[in-house]
Amino acid sequence: MQLNSIKPAEGAKRARRRVGRGIGSGLGKTAGRGHKGQKSRAGGFHKVGFEGGQMPLHRRLPKRGFKSAQAKYNAEVTLHELQALGADEVDLLTLKQAGLVGELVKHVKVIKSGELSKKVTLKGIGATAGAKAAIEAAGGSLA
């Protein structure tokens, strides 16, 4: 096989449809665009969601919800994840290296989900009231 002898598979390439080239082609006269109207004309089209002047659906529906710009900087860690981590001292860098929080995260909070049976010291990390009680019950502390 040589590069100059390579051809596409049989039937893979089809000639593009040439419209408006006479009655015998089957696509003469209106060239498949129908009669009159905006869609029949050159350059005659409208933006996505346009409903002919009727108030579009995306404007008829009420606005709802809010997405905080700060969400990407905040993260949660569960007691179960702390247990699996296996570190005695846990800080933000430790959690990032373990892949428990994202690289952009600046504030982490421990939430009470799962069990914690080993002593863990948190440095620069917050905790909910329930999580704090569980950490202290296991002999750990928040610094």
Mean pLDDT of the chain: 93
How does pLDDT run across 116-142, given as a tens digit for each residue? 999 999 999 999 999 999 999 999 999
Residues 6+ positions from 83 with CB-CB distance below 8 Å: 114, 115, 116, 117, 118
How does pLDDT run across 76-104, given as a tens digit for each residue? 999 999 999 888 899 999 999 999 999 99
Residues in the chain: 143
Quote the distance between the C-alpha of residue 59 and its chain's center: 24
Please answer whether residues 79 and 134 qualify as being in contact, where contact means their C-beta atoms are separated by less than 8 angstroms.
yes
Q: How far is CA 59 from CA 56, 64, 66, 67, in A?
A: 5, 12, 17, 19
pLDDT of residue 44: 84
Q: Does the reported pTM lie above 0.85?
A: no
How far apart (Å, rounded) are the C-alpha atoms in residues 125 and 143?
8
Domains and CATH numbers, the chain: 71-142 (3.100.10.10)
pLDDT of residue 46: 85
